[in-house]
Structure 1
Amino acid sequence: MITINSNLFYGDKVKLSIAREEDSEIMLKWGEDSEYLRNVDTEIAFPKTKEQLTTKGQKDLNEVYFRLRTIDEDHLIGFVAIHSIEWNNRAGLLAIGIGESSNRNKGYGSDALKLILRYAFHELNLDRVGLEVIEYNKGGIRSYEKVGFQQEGKKRSVVYRDGKRYDIIVMGVLRNEWEEIHKLN
């Protein structure tokens, strides 16, 4: 089998990393950005405490959680996770966030998606990765489609923001589809 990169945790622009003690201070600032909070979750946009940020994903056997760092300067720029893993069904859900707006639209998200999907399919041995995205997150939808996700349906009128209702787009990618896109066997 051919791999995209010989290092499981490194892409072209970003690397998958464990949480570091200093990360929580940076992530607390992200919690002050309503655009970030409103794209990363459908819950009420509300900042997390330092304690909530430092315990994320550490003991959940049905989740793998990584911090995203730039390769060139080792700066924390976001997170990516496969959560709600159903091992018997070989399926999980994806979550990703790029914290500061200055780090968005630079290819970091696409690189991180390639990395986490390779990890999900070749390390965790999953057959399917799904996600849900709010319809107004056009950049996220484009990034997901670029790496192989397909729109599978929608949940109508789920999110209420600024006096308007929005659909949730349900997307998924299968291992064989992803391998075909990336010419893997």
Structure 2
Amino acid sequence: MTTPTLEGKRVRLGRMEGEKDLESWAGWFRNVEFQHLLDVEPPHLWSAGQIQTWLERKDDRSVLFGIRTLEDDALIGFVTLEALDWMTRTAWTSIGIGVEARWGQGLGREAMSLLLGYAFETLHLNRVSLTVFEYNQRAIRCYLRCGFLEEGRARLAVQRFGRRWDLVYMGFLYEDWLRLKREEPVILS
């Protein structure tokens, strides 16, 4: 699927490109804390080849955006729509801000809001879903502020940091998007 360019107040979503982007990704995936926030698998080093293969995958069921800051065009993360089902008009999303210095600044929230606008207004999806680890409270707050609702939990599904944690399921419907557009700006600062 072709990756469009989407621009907000502080970030732009667009295609991942070139060696420089590959180097950024490789750095993020050497960060154990970053991996703990994204994946249930134990952290492991990704080779440049593995990252390149993942970045270059193309199909009509997924779209991968790089997240860049408008102030300096720096690649700071990614956001995806995956498992797009055109019959049911649903998809799954994930996001990662790989540059720790950018955590907690609302850039991920703005990127997710841009992605949701694309999902609902351009792709005409009815539902976007995600999962998040119970211990990732910053992400949960971000998703709630974007308009996602918690829909359930897989109790004690994740082993991490010497204990078990819930896997939280969240969803966002087109009707939620319309309600938010009527009530308040979608991108909150």
- 1-structure distance, mates of 2:39, 2:52: 18
In structure 1, the gaps of 5 or more residues are 1-6
- 1-structure distance, mates of 2:118, 2:136: 24
Per the alignment, residue 176 of structure 1 pairs with: 175
Give, in angstroms, the shift of residue 52 of structure 1. 2.1
Per the alignment, residue 186 of structure 2 pairs with: none
Q: Which is helix-richer, 1 or 2?
A: 2
- 2-structure distance, mates of 1:8, 1:152: 30
TM-score of the pair, normalised by structure 1: 0.92
Map 1:1-185; keep pairs closer than 5 Å: 9-21=6-18, 22-56=20-54, 58-183=57-182
Aligned-pair identity in percent equals 35
| Counterpart contact for 1:147–1:178, Cα < 8 Å | no
Give, in angstroms, the shift of residue 101 of structure 1. 1.1
In structure 2, the gaps of 5 or more residues are 184-189
Change (3 A) 1:16 1:135: same
Give, in angstroms, the shift of residue 35 of structure 1. 1.3
For residue 143 of structure 1, give the secondary structure of its aligned residue in structure 2.
helix
- 2-structure distance, mates of 1:41, 1:178: 27
Q: What code does the residue aligned with 2:124 have?
A: N
For residue 54 of structure 2, give the secondary structure of its aligned residue in structure 1.
coil
Task: Give 4+ residue runs of structure 1 displaced > 4 Å after superposition.
Answer: none
| Counterpart contact for 1:8–1:119, Cα < 8 Å | no
For residue 27 of structure 2, give the secondary structure of its aligned residue in structure 1.
helix
Task: Give the superposed CA RMSD.
Answer: 1.5
Give, in angstroms, the shift of residue 175 of structure 1. 0.7
Give, in angstroms, the shift of residue 8 of structure 1. 6.1
| Counterpart contact for 2:5–2:12, Cα < 8 Å | no
| Counterpart contact for 1:152–1:171, Cα < 8 Å | yes
| Counterpart contact for 2:22–2:52, Cα < 8 Å | yes
Q: What code does the residue aligned with 2:6 have?
A: F
- 2-structure distance, mates of 1:68, 1:150: 24
- 2-structure distance, mates of 1:40, 1:179: 29
Q: What code does the residue aligned with 2:87 have?
A: N
Q: How many residues in Structure 1 have an aligned counterpart in Structure 2?
A: 178
| Counterpart contact for 2:134–2:167, Cα < 8 Å | yes
Higher RCO, 1 vs 2 (CA within 8 Å, ≥6 residues apart): 1
